[in-house]
Amino acid sequence: MNAMFLLLCLAFALLPANLPADTCLNCHGNPLERAADSALDDCFQLWLDSPHSLAGLSCVHCHGGDPAAEAMNLAHQPPGDEEMLWSTRKQRINATCGGCHEEIFLAFEESEHDQLLKSSGQEEERPTCITCHGGMAAGRIPSSEVAALCLPCHAPQEGQTESLPEKAERLLERMELLGRLHRLIALKGSDRQCTHLRAKLVPRINQLLLDWHKLELEKVDVHSGALLVELSAMRDELSKQFQGKLPVPN
């Protein structure tokens, strides 16, 4: 069995099932192309396993182009090869992500933190969506990793009882707990609890996410603490209904 035959078998094994009718994916997901280009293969696999793929988004949603065109020169128009790559570079990435995540984008761009970096000529030092969330395989940064992202610019100061990176880690850990409590109440709560959750608490949780992206940590501290008290009380009430056998939310 020669090497070329083995390569072809491997290439077709890499082909995902049920690719959408999208010439971008049909071309860039071609098993022979992926087998011959490790960078392309890595990018395609990142997209394939990502929340964006699960939500039905593909190349065109971030890079532009025409997914119905068969010829490459037509599929890349508009905006053209260079502009398609530019859409995900540091200078443009926030606006590209903001095309779908508008509220979060505006909160981040209008934050005092971002405005200060722009006005002081430190625009190249600005964090972007990718700084915390990664690229195509975007997800939420875990609390255990957030301090390391803040440290390069916010080193602990002498005499501080809690440095900014430590505070960010503590608050994100609390927000993770809020998320678990939210899911628990939504899945197991009574009709009354679920109604209260949707009507009163979810809008506050959404505002908390905007405040987090504005990097307003003092406000996040106050509001997340109040939400934790309320959601914990709902969890305790629910635990009594389950006679103390309610699982700890993951």
Going from N- to C-terminal start, the domains of the chain cover: 23-86, 140-151+164-250
> How far apart, in whole angstroms, are the C-alpha atoms of residue 164 and residue 88?
29
DSSP assignment of 119-180 equals HTT-GGG---HHHHH-STT--PPPHHHHHHHHTTT-PPPTT-SS-HHHHHHHHHHHHHHHHH
- Predicted structure pTM score: 0.80
- The separation between CA 187 and the C-alpha centre of its own chain, rounded to angstroms, equals 23
pLDDT digits (tens, 9 = 90+) for 170-184: 999 999 999 999 999
Mean pLDDT of the chain: 85
Q: From CA 66, how far away is CA 23, in angstroms rounded?
A: 8
Q: Calculate mean pLDDT across residues 192-206.
A: 96
Residue 248 has a pLDDT of: 58
Question: Is residue 48 pLDDT above 70, yes or no?
Answer: yes
Could you give the CA distance from residue 68 to residue 66 in angstroms, rounded to a whole number? 5
Per-residue confidence (pLDDT) for residue 247, from 0 to 100: 61
Band of pLDDT at residue 107, cut at 50, 70 and 90: very high
217-241 vs 164-188: helix axis angle to the nearest 10?
30
